[in-house]
Structure 1
Amino acid sequence: MTFVQIIDCKTSRVEDLNRLMDRWVEQTKGKRTATHSIVGKDRSDASHVVEIVEFPSYDVAMRNSQLPETDRIFREMVALCDEMPTFTDLDVVRDEQMYKAASRRFFELVSMPGELPPLDEVFAEGYHDHDPSNPTDAVGMDAVRREAEMWRSAFDFTFTVDDQIADGDRVCTRWTWNGTHVGDFMGIQPTGMEVSMTGMVVHRFREDGKAVEGWWQYDMLGLMGQLGAVEG
């Protein structure tokens, strides 16, 4: 679960605090585990400064706090503040940007040439896939990989993400798929044809940013028409 720490302090030495943060970044290069950090100044009180630091998880944040450089920078930060800073620790329970990035990453992974990369980067182990073109849903990582490999053995393809909309724990991605028919596909022998189709998928995510369910809609009839399997 993504973890965020908010550091709230009062200081008349904002520029010195900024330089201190720059030094912390430089001294912990290659060791610092924070994935994102911003510093904001209160518009109504220039001495009120808030730093927001994001980590992949609480445990990772604790490893970062144990770095000797972090401890030294913290003591210097306290010396720059007019009073003791306060810390607020937050477990992130909703991050729509993270969900959108994970959905986009799936399309990158499944399109990669060569061996199919692990999908557990973006999918939970019990991921449940709803695809109207399949008689049964694909449930679990093994079933999802078999489904992906079926498409990958039949086509060399790429996805273009045309649009994404996030709402709560769900992301809708509108995409365009372009492929070359290089292998057997539902009994249709390879034709070498360049084909394309459009579609959408809605992914539902859990708090750690991994998808647990997906619902697909795409123009399978149009694809079969391009392959000559049905009349246009």
Structure 2
Amino acid sequence: MTFVQIIDCRTSHFDDIDRLMDTWVEQTKGKRTATHAVVGKDHSDASHFIEIVEFPSYEEAMRNSGLPETDRIFQEMVALCDEMPTFTDLDVVRDDQLQAVNVRRFFETIAQKGELPPLDDLVAENYHDHDPGKEQDTLGMDAMRRDIGMWRGGFDFAFDIEDQIAQGDRVCTRWTWRGTHSGEFMGLPATGRSVVMTGTTVFRCDEDGKLAEGWWQYDRLGLMAQLGALDALEQ
């Protein structure tokens, strides 16, 4: 279970503490178990700081605390604080990366059987799509629905989400697409063949969490080879 430690302190020497944290990062390289750290300054009190540190588990957090470098840096940090820092230990019971959730829902929605559902709750009206397989970018919700319709008209398909990483307003997804060629696609009549394609998509989300821009990379050449479109060229 993911474990989070919250460190609450007051100091008039934050720059010195910040440099101290850089020293700890350098000295514990290859040994520390912390995976993510965020430091925030109280908007209404410039001397009040909170650090949130994430660990894979409570046990890993304790192992991190046991490092001699951690103990030494902590003692130096306490000396720079106006009062003794306080610690709150939390077992994470829910962790929703809402933008990543919306991206995952997008892949699930466009693969649904039947009529394509409305995408208004997932995609921004002024969506901008970058696809290396197209000469021009796709601009706007209507154009995107037409592109999706082309794929849905040619294949019955589904996505397997292999990896997903969210940072800031970007969500990167590595996926595997599996389909059956059940209709006309790029001038090729249905072959009934089962095909597989891998790819990666980076989405930028707007302030509402909707998909506002996308960059696609996928093996279209490999897909066309599986459909037999390159057979004539190889002869």
Query: What's the CA shift for 1:214?
Result: 0.3
Q: Which residue of 2 aligns with 1:178?
A: 178
Give the Cα–Cα distance (whole angstroms) in 1 for the partners of residues 195 and 122 of structure 2: 27
Q: Which residue of 1 aligns with 2:125?
A: 125
Read off the aligned partner of 2:128 and give its amino acid letter.
H
Checking the alignment, whether the CA contact within 8 Å between 1:96 and 1:166 is kept in structure 2 is no
Query: What's the CA shift for 1:116?
Result: 0.1
Checking the alignment, whether the CA contact within 8 Å between 1:130 and 1:138 is kept in structure 2 is yes
Q: Which residue of 2 aligns with 1:101?
A: 101
Give the Cα–Cα distance (whole angstroms) in 2 for the partners of residues 101 and 184 of structure 1: 32
Q: Does 1:156 align with 2:156?
A: yes
Give the Cα–Cα distance (whole angstroms) in 2 for the partners of residues 158 and 216 of structure 1: 17
- Encode CA deviations 1:129-177: one digit per residue, 9 max, x unaligned: 1001111111111000000000000000001111101111000000000
- Encode CA deviations 1:49-97: one digit per residue, 9 max, x unaligned: xxxxxxxxxxxxxxxxxxxxxxxxxxxxxxxxxxxxxxxxxxxxxx981
Read off the aligned partner of 2:192 and give its amino acid letter.
G
TM-score, normalised with respect to structure 2: 0.57
Structure number with higher relative contact order (C-alpha < 8 Å, ≥ 6 residues apart): 1
Give the Cα–Cα distance (whole angstroms) in 2 for the partners of residues 109 and 200 of structure 1: 17
Give the Cα–Cα distance (whole angstroms) in 1 for the partners of residues 130 and 154 of structure 2: 21
Superposition pairs of residues 50-199 of structure 1, within 5 angstroms: 97-199=97-199
Checking the alignment, whether the CA contact within 8 Å between 1:128 and 1:137 is kept in structure 2 is yes
Q: Which residue of 1 aligns with 2:208?
A: 208
Read off the aligned partner of 2:144 and give its amino acid letter.
V
Checking the alignment, whether the CA contact within 8 Å between 1:96 and 1:169 is kept in structure 2 is no
Give the Cα–Cα distance (whole angstroms) in 1 for the partners of residues 123 and 96 of structure 2: 16
SS state of the match for residue 128, structure 2?
strand
Read off the aligned partner of 2:114 and give its amino acid letter.
G
Checking the alignment, whether the CA contact within 8 Å between 1:161 and 1:176 is kept in structure 2 is yes
Q: How many residues were matched structurally?
A: 138
Checking the alignment, whether the CA contact within 8 Å between 1:96 and 1:167 is kept in structure 2 is no
Read off the aligned partner of 2:209 and give its amino acid letter.
G
Give the Cα–Cα distance (whole angstroms) in 2 for the partners of residues 100 and 132 of structure 1: 23
TM-score, normalised with respect to structure 1: 0.58
Give the Cα–Cα distance (whole angstroms) in 2 for the partners of residues 149 and 96 of structure 1: 30
Read off the aligned partner of 1:173 and give its amino acid letter.
T
* Identity among equivalent pairs (%): 61
Unaligned runs of 5+ in 1: 1-94
Q: Which residue of 2 aligns with 1:30?
A: none
